[in-house]
A and B are shown apart, each in its own frame.
Chain A
Amino acid sequence: MKDLKLAFKLNGRKISTKIPPRLLLVDLLRDILNLKGTKVGCRQGECGACTVLVNGEPINSCIYPALKVAGQSVTTIEGLSQGEKLHPIQQAFLDEGAVQCGYCIPAMALTAKAFLEKNPHPDESQIREGLSGVLCRCTGYRKIVKAVQKASKN
């Protein structure tokens, strides 16, 4: 199996690397680029813990061939804050105490970011639908929804 060239934008920075063709995006991020913020849950596109943004849209990186991101722009949780300055969504999660075990939170925060950009004034049911692709097994949805509400422009 020959490695293939891959160039893309990751959290605003240009990345150029060589990877095996079978590699999935989540494994490229975690194992090769050493960004462990993206989590692996079910590995079959159900739990959403591996969510990252490709061109601003949330996708499940565990079922997404890494070579698909050639020339595209990828955002992981590591790219959400600006240095030490937290993104308003991250701050809202802190303020609301929306984090329990934390495993789903990178995915929740990224999904919320993409969702709020499209729906700046959501009601609760819209937020729940927007976040429905990420499962929280602590079942801490109430505070997560509250945090997203807080980060919205309502």
Chain B
Amino acid sequence: MEQALKDFHWGREIEIQQYLQPLTAKEALRMLAEHEGRALVIAGGTDVIPMLRQGDIEADVLVDISRLPEMGSIEFEGDLISLGGLVTHAQIASSPLIREKAGLLAEAAGTVGSPQIRNVATVAGNLVSAQPAADVTLPLLALNARVTILSPKGEREVPLTQFFPRQGRPAIDCRREILTRIRFSALQKSQGGCYLRLSLRKALALPMLAAAIVVAVDKEKRAIKEAAISLGPVAPTPFRAWKTEAGLRNAPISKATLEGAARTALEEANPRSSLLRGSTEYRKAMVKVFVKRGLSRALANAGAALAEEI
């Protein structure tokens, strides 16, 4: 019994030797370099701590970046929105400006975990965890966000579309580097967005399926100029439905267009059967529903609502 408890996450201690709290980014990088490979960046810790406890990851040293300056706020630089690496889900969900200028992101942020989790969990952490079902990752992917990564060699900017090359392995090394900033453009007047999520409960439940959609429209021609559709979890990584998007470029705003998009999405998305999330058949059927419904709502939010019922 005692051994069973030890093997279970509940009884397990987190085996770290040091917990460091740098006050500058430079100091943080130095600490990571000093304990090369054995140190890990922690911010909110809502993923890192459970993963350490369950033995999914190992680290001797945690470098807590939550005191680094100038990373905790949401900033607007003209049409560009910039989120510091320490901005939490709660900040995003309650920001009137994010609600107005990137409503789908605020919507998604408000669905994560619980108020307790959202108060602590950072948006950057959601990206770094690179889970295919990550809620705020999907709208940021559809908004073509770019992330700034600070490494000992300097700063680099990576488009989120290139940030998830492989399952669970984002294009950042959290034993050496820090995600400092997330940037994306505010939605324009000719654009509309929407976030849809299907889950077993309203709180503390990962999505069975989620979709983030952004459309840009030409209102005079009644056409979709461009659409961005991200879906999760339908693949090993957060997924952009590129084929579906290509089919929507310059397509007329019509029920037929949306139905075509739903069919293409069904071909390119591959949800697995999961006891937790439902059968492949059900989730595939819901991919179709979400693409149609999501596009229709995004179009309405862009001021170009469909004339027919879907």
Interface residues of A (CB under 8 A from B): 1-2, 4, 21-22, 24, 42-46, 48, 51, 57-60, 63-65, 67-68, 70, 111, 115, 129-130, 132-135
Binds A, one of B7-15, B97-105, B218-226: B7-15
Query: Are B45 and A46 in contact, CB atoms less than 8 angstroms apart?
Result: no
Interface residues of B (CB under 8 A from A): 9-10, 13-19, 21, 42, 45-46, 49-50, 53-54, 62, 64, 66, 90, 113-117, 119-120, 202-204
Partner of A67, one of B21, B54, B90, B116: B21
Min CB gap A124→B, angstroms: 14
Bound complex: CA of A150 vs CA of B83, how far in Å? 38
Min CB gap B28→A, angstroms: 15
Query: Are B114 and A132 in contact, CB atoms less than 8 angstroms apart?
Result: yes
B interface SS class: loop
Complex contacts, B66 vs chain A, CB 8 Å: 68
Bound complex: CA of A129 vs CA of B115, how far in Å? 8
Query: Are A22 and B14 in contact, CB atoms less than 8 angstroms apart?
Result: yes
Query: Are A58 and B15 in contact, CB atoms less than 8 angstroms apart?
Result: no
Query: Are B116 and A48 in contact, CB atoms less than 8 angstroms apart?
Result: yes
Query: Are A65 and B120 in contact, CB atoms less than 8 angstroms apart?
Result: no
Query: Are A65 and B115 in contact, CB atoms less than 8 angstroms apart?
Result: no
Query: Are A65 and B53 in contact, CB atoms less than 8 angstroms apart?
Result: no
Min CB gap B51→A, angstroms: 10
Query: Are A57 and B119 in contact, CB atoms less than 8 angstroms apart?
Result: yes
Complex contacts, A135 vs chain B, CB 8 Å: 204
Query: Are A58 and B116 in contact, CB atoms less than 8 angstroms apart?
Result: yes
Query: Are B203 and A21 in contact, CB atoms less than 8 angstroms apart?
Result: no
Query: Are B116 and A59 in contact, CB atoms less than 8 angstroms apart?
Result: yes
Query: Are B113 and A45 in contact, CB atoms less than 8 angstroms apart?
Result: yes
Bound complex: CA of A130 vs CA of B90, how far in Å? 12
Min CB gap B6→A, angstroms: 13
Query: Are A44 and B119 in contact, CB atoms less than 8 angstroms apart?
Result: no
Query: Are A70 and B116 in contact, CB atoms less than 8 angstroms apart?
Result: no
Partner of A51, one of B13, B19, B116, B202: B116
Partner of A65, one of B10, B49, B114: B49
Query: Are A133 and B14 in contact, CB atoms less than 8 angstroms apart?
Result: no
Bound complex: CA of A51 vs CA of B62, how far in Å? 23
The 7 residue pairs across chains A and B that have the minimum distance between CB atoms: A133-B114, A132-B203, A21-B19, A133-B116, A63-B49, A44-B50, A22-B14
Min CB gap B135→A, angstroms: 15
Among residues of B, the one whose C-beta sits closest to the C-beta of A41 is B10
Complex contacts, A21 vs chain B, CB 8 Å: 16-19, 62
Complex contacts, A22 vs chain B, CB 8 Å: 13-16, 19
Min CB gap A62→B, angstroms: 8
Among residues of A, the one whose C-beta sits closest to the C-beta of B13 is A22
Known: A64-B120, A68-B64. A58 touches B115 (CB 8 A): yes
Known: A2-B18, A22-B13, A65-B49. 17 other contacts (CB 8 A): A21-B17, A21-B18, A22-B16, A43-B9, A44-B50, A57-B90, A58-B115, A60-B116, A63-B50, A64-B49, A64-B120, A65-B45, A68-B45, A68-B66, A111-B115, A129-B203, A133-B203
List, sorted by A's number, 23 A–B pairs whose CB atoms are closer than 8 Å: A1-B17, A21-B16, A22-B14, A24-B49, A43-B9, A45-B46, A45-B50, A45-B116, A48-B114, A58-B116, A59-B119, A60-B46, A63-B46, A64-B49, A65-B19, A65-B62, A68-B66, A70-B21, A132-B114, A132-B204, A133-B114, A133-B115, A133-B204
Complex contacts, B21 vs chain A, CB 8 Å: 67, 70
Among residues of B, the one whose C-beta sits closest to the C-beta of A114 is B115
Complex contacts, A60 vs chain B, CB 8 Å: 46, 116-117, 120
Complex contacts, B15 vs chain A, CB 8 Å: 22
Complex contacts, B9 vs chain A, CB 8 Å: 43-44
Min CB gap B72→A, angstroms: 13
Complex contacts, B203 vs chain A, CB 8 Å: 129, 132-133
Complex contacts, A46 vs chain B, CB 8 Å: 204
Min CB gap A39→B, angstroms: 13
Complex contacts, A130 vs chain B, CB 8 Å: 115
